[in-house]
Chain A
Amino acid sequence: MTDLGFQLKGSVVTTILLEIQTLSLESIVAQLREKIEQVPHFFNQAPIIIDLSKLKQDLPLDAFDTLIISLADLGLGVIGWRCDQENKPVWFSQAKIPMLPASKARPILVPEATPKDTGPDVVVKTVVEERLVPQATKVITKPIRSGQQVYAEGDLIILTQVSAGAEVLADGNIHVYGALRGRALAGVKGDTQARIFCKSLEAELVSIAGNFMLSDALRKIIWKEPAQVVLIDDSLDITPL
């Protein structure tokens, strides 16, 4: 078997969408420059997609090419463009950058240095290209020992114990079918719906989406009993199972 020198993978990237609403490209570029100067770090080397779907008139190809160059001068990297599928420009197959399929976009909050009026011509939107796919559950069959750290991108299921001094983290839920003596942090990427379940709650720390509770507090609620940890209104709720 020969070894490939590369691997092809799919990836989801959040990018900035530049929705063009008028044909006055020069003024768009000028307004955009002003916006970038306010918050240069936000736009530095940012990948950007040009969206023509809101444009009522036809944009000539040479104007489109000029726009790409102007954006590059502003430090933005144009990675593609898209338009209304029903209303493609005649030159759509000749564009120098990839044409992307249309998808739903939601407005992003651009950090404003000063609340200046940037005019109606430019709307910056962020686009999540695909929906997040739930990550596979990680199942651990051996005890997590002191000093070990286990992280799961989805749910984490541990069939035995988590020792004191060990740390288990998951973007999703954490299930421990043994004693939970170490630290357990669920929803580490901010999922407030994540929960922790364990057969015997003896944890040093439990946390859901950054809201944590230490063993001293846990002892007063439930200790060495089956329990679940849920986040309700920014505070942890420990209930028996």
Chain B
Amino acid sequence: MAKIIVVTSGKGGVGKTTSSAAIGTGIALKGHKTVIIDFDVGLRNLDLIMGCERRVVYDFVNVINKEATLSQALIKDKRTKDLFILPASQTRDKDALTIEGVQAVLDELSEEFEYIICDSPAGIEKGAQMALYFADAAIVVTNPEVSSVRDSDRILGILQSKSRRAEEGKEPIEEHLLLTRYHPERVAIGEMLSVTDVEDILAIPLLGVIPESEAVLKASNQGTPVILDQESEAGLAYTDAVDRLMGEERPLRFLDVQKKGFFKRLLGG
């Protein structure tokens, strides 16, 4: 049986797709056969981040509607062995997702893959609920600011109440906090919530802290998951997060203000 991990947040633009791509790639790099599913029907982005947008022929909705087989729709990643992408449909909307359809696809994928990463759309509506419904674990992507934290709190409530595990009274979904776009300099001057603040409010275990990094934007534009950029702090932080997800101990890095100078002077701290 595959482990189904949903990457979710409630709020948009916090880094769900970036994190799905990075973590999915990281798990595959460890030799586990992994598929990343884009649940953002109508706003397809994962293929861009993964750099496979020109290879999309069939998509998730085609498979649900039995217009294509899974093997036709799955895109094999060119860089990472054991990694596949199931793109979303750009021309449809979230109503194309049905519980039965999604379940059939996940069941079929479970036979072949070890990890299924569900890249959730923003919001708490149908698309997001479909993405989390079958999950065994959730990575809640949060930015260190109040509205993102509030939305993450909301989605944690939905994970506890509207998932299949909750409805069937099984062991609850395993919850992980991934704090992204973390800016130690801005935390130091009180412009951003600290790791402790966010942990205190959400009260779930911390999977990792990804520092704000230019490498993320660069990687997105190039269609390369940022975890492959092992020169960048963000890439290294994602690697740590994947290691922790696999049960390894890794100390937190990149939380302190390192470079005195430019930012600190610029922001007057």
Contacts and interface: CB of A to CB of B under 8 A. Distances in A.
A and B, one complex? yes
Interface in A137-155: 142-148
A228 interface: no
A165 interface: yes
Contacts, number: 37
A160 interface: yes
B257 interface: no
For B124, B151, B157, B201, the residue with the greatest tally of chain A CB atoms inside 10 Å of its CB is B157
B153 A163 contact: yes
Contacts of B160: 142, 145
Q: Which bracket fits the contact residues of A?
A: 10 to 19
A192 interface: no
B203 A165 contact: no
B150 interface: yes
A147 B157 contact: yes
B244 interface: no
Nearest to B156: A145
A173 interface: no
Contact of B153 (A145, A160, A179): A145
Contacts of A147: 124, 154, 157-158
Interface in B225-252: none
Contact of B157 (A148, A179, A181): A148
Interface string A158-189: 00110111100000000000110100000000
A28 to B, nearest CB: 56
Interface in B134-189: 150-151, 153-154, 156-158, 160-161, 172
A165 B161 contact: no
Interface string B114-141: 0000000000100000000000000000
Given A143-B203, A145-B156, 6 more contacts: A145-B153, A145-B154, A145-B160, A146-B150, A165-B153, A178-B203
22 contacts: A142-B172, A143-B156, A143-B203, A144-B157, A145-B153, A145-B157, A145-B158, A146-B150, A146-B151, A146-B153, A146-B154, A146-B157, A147-B154, A147-B157, A148-B157, A160-B203, A161-B203, A163-B157, A164-B201, A165-B150, A165-B153, A181-B201
